[in-house]
Amino acid sequence: MMTTSPYHIPAAPAETEILVVNSRFIASLSPAFSVEEARAFQKSIRQRFPDATHHVPAFVIGHGNSVITHCSDDGEPSGTAGRPALAVLQGSGLGDAAVVVTRYFGGTLLGTGGLVKAYGDAVRAVLKLARRAVKVPTTTLGVQLPYPLFEQVQRLAAARGAEVLESQFLTDVTLMLRFRDEELDAFYEQLAHLSAGQVTPVVLERNPETIFPLD
């Protein structure tokens, strides 16, 4: 059983760009489950945009009381880039997340307040695009059922938030479904009622930490 509520993490990388007084700010976001992963992500962004003026990193590893944070101004005036980027990232509620804001200088100085706003706005922009997930214990089930029950079981699985990993349509229908563990008991009970006890799922895999998309 889980002892704490799952926290949100990025489901997948995301990237967007904003333009501020001719300076380009490219915000790149990625899940990162360790400091090493966050630094590797930062390095990959530097390699993708080698001619950029600045690469400002911020990351939050973990969540709540067990968290590691880091940011850097990467050559921008002290406190104008890394801190606002990290503040926005922390304010999003995400954990296990790394962001890099890449700047191409456009020839006009933005000033301290302008930089703080630009770096914060860049992170806000990429967070709006980010799909969210939770890292939770899951169980993957194999379910073999007759065709007349297929649509009903499909709707039942969807109502319990299952991911359909595989479907086979032979003599019977075989589904591979992944559930958050908190949904299992209800699915078992409803499936038994729906099939009059004739369909019994088989546990294929248990995973204590699965990235499970929320949308």
CATH for the 8-130 domain, from 3.40.190.10, 3.30.230.30, 3.40.50.150, 3.30.70.20: 3.30.230.30
Fold of 135-213: Alpha-Beta Plaits (3.30.70)
What is the phi/psi pair of residue 78, to 5°? -55, 130
Q: Is pLDDT at 210 greater than 70 in this prediction? A: yes
Look at residue 2 in the predicted model and tell me its pLDDT: 37
Question: Using CA atoms in the order 172, 173, 179, 184, what is the torsion angle rounded to 10 degrees?
Answer: -40
What percentage of the chain exceeds 90 in pLDDT? 85
Spatial CA neighbour of 54 closest among 121, 142, 132, 115: 115
Average pLDDT over residues 14-26: 96
Look at residue 129 in the predicted model and tell me its pLDDT: 95
Sequence-separated (6 or more) residues with CB below 8 Å from residue 67: 60, 61, 95
In the chain, where the domains are located: 8-130, 135-213
Same topology for domains 8-130 and 135-213, yes or no? no
Please state, in angstroms and as integers, the Cα–Cα distance from residue 124 to each residue in 21, 54, 131, 143, 160, following that order: 18, 18, 13, 42, 32
pTM of the model: 0.76
Tracing tokens 């969210």 back to the chain, one arrives at: 132
Residue 178 bridge partners (DSSP): 140, 163
Amino acid identity for residue 151 in this structure:
E
Residues 110-149: tens digit of each pLDDT: 999 999 999 999 999 999 999 999 888 899 999 999 999 9
Residues 139-176: tens digit of each pLDDT: 999 999 999 999 999 999 999 999 999 999 999 999 99
